[in-house]
């Protein structure tokens, strides 16, 4: 079974440009999460989708970030316009929906974003 | 606010030596507790988790962790490290829910001395 995949693996853009990151969750996983790690700091939660709906977007840093999950399958995270402080590694994770116990989140390899 | 503290940014141990990585958390109640590992060029892999019950949990790759409620700690241990254990290790927590965001510590980078 394929794991969580992310595209691209690396992206280098200039300040002010737009970048779109993509995440394909494990098939059948209705929960999808975005996290990011800026240089040397902890991995921080950005937002959580349940199917196509945003369940929690409390971690989104500002309105330059737009996440979508049309159709409840893959998700995109767009940064427009990108700033220097957006550089870091963006992780996506997915998990099953439902049940009374914790559903493990499976992480993708991340997209390394560098803003020059 | 919930937080996870990993006081050691970088640790170097000799191959074959024992390892302990420290983790303390601040939370309103006992959360789910995790250790993840990220090897170079790889994604985050779950090493082990604690939900309830026995406070000593076993994970993959020979790792174990002990939950100590009185100290709000969840330290990771391995009796004998291998060169392939060189990676970055993250302690993390999540609240009791079937779907909850994970709160990570800042990570500890482990280097192995030949």
- For every one of its 114 residues, what pLDDT tens digit does chain B have, with 9 covering 90 and above? 789 999 999 999 999 999 999 999 998 777 899 999 998 878 899 999 998 888 999 999 999 999 999 999 999 999 999 999 999 999 999 987 766 889 999 999 999 998
**Cβ-based burial of A62 (10 A; exposed 0-12, middle 13-18, buried ≥19):** exposed
How many whole angstroms separate alpha carbon A54 and alpha carbon A46? 11
Q: What per-residue confidence (pLDDT) applies to A84?
A: 96
Measured between alpha carbons, how far is A84 from A64 in angstroms, rounded to an integer?
13
Using one digit for the tens of pLDDT, what is the confidence trace for A75-109?
Answer: 999 999 999 999 999 999 999 987 767 788 999 99
State the pLDDT at residue B52: 85
Residue A26 has pLDDT above 90, yes or no: yes
Across the range A57-71, mean pLDDT stands at 94
Under the banding of pLDDT at 50, 70 and 90, the label for residue A1 is low
Contact call for B107 and A107, based on CB within 8 A: no
- Residue pair A4/A23 in contact (Cβ under 8 Å)? The answer is yes
Q: Write down the pLDDT at residue A70.
A: 85
pLDDT given for residue A82 in this prediction: 96
- Specify the pLDDT at position A40: 76
Residue of B nearest to A90 (CA): B43
Using DSSP, state whether A11 is helix, strand or coil: strand
Pick from A42, A45, A59: which is nearest to B106 by CB? A42
pLDDT number for residue B71 = 93
**How is A29-87 classified by DSSP, letter by letter?**
--EEEEEEE-TTS-EEEEEEEETTEEEE-TT--STTEEEE-GGGS-EEEEESS--GGG-
User: Residue B93, exposed/middle/buried by CB under 10 A (0-12, 13-18, 19+)?
Assistant: buried
| CA A109 to chain centroid | 11
Interface of A with B (CB under 8 A): 3-4, 31, 33, 35, 40-45, 48, 50, 55-56, 59, 91, 93, 95, 97-105, 107-110
Distance between A31 CA and the closest CA of chain B, angstroms: 7
Backbone conformation region of residue A28, classed left if phi is above 0, alpha if psi is from -120 to 50, else beta = left
């Amino acid at each position: 079974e394929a794991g969580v995949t992310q595209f691209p693996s690396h992206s280098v853009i200039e300040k002010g440009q737009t970048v779109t990151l993509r995440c394909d969750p494990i098939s059948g996983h209705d929960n999808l999460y975005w996290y990011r790690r800026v240089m040397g700091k902890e991995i921080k939660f950005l937002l959580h989708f349940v199917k196509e709906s945003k369940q929690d977007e409390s971690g989104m840093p500002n309105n330059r970030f737009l996440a979508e999950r049309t159709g409840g399958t893959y998700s995109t995270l767009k940064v427009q316009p990108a700033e220097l402080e957006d550089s870091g590694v963006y992780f996506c994770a997915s998990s099953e929906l439902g049940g009374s116990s914790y559903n493990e989140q499976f992480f993708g390899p991340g997209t390394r974003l560098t803003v020059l | 606010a919930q937080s996870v503290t990993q006081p050691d940014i970088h640790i170097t141990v000799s191959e074959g030596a024992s390892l302990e990585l420290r983790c303390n958390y601040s939370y309103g109640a006992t959360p789910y507790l995790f250790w993840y590992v990220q090897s170079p060029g790889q994604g985050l892999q779950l090493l082990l988790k604690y939900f309830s019950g026995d406070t000593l949990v076993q994970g993959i790759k020979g790792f174990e962790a002990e939950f100590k409620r009185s100290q709000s700690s969840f330290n990771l241990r391995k009796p004998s490290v291998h060169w392939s254990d060189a990676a970055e290790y993250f302690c993390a927590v999540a609240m009791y829910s079937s779907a909850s965001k994970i709160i990570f510590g800042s990570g500890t980078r482990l280097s192995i001395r030949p």
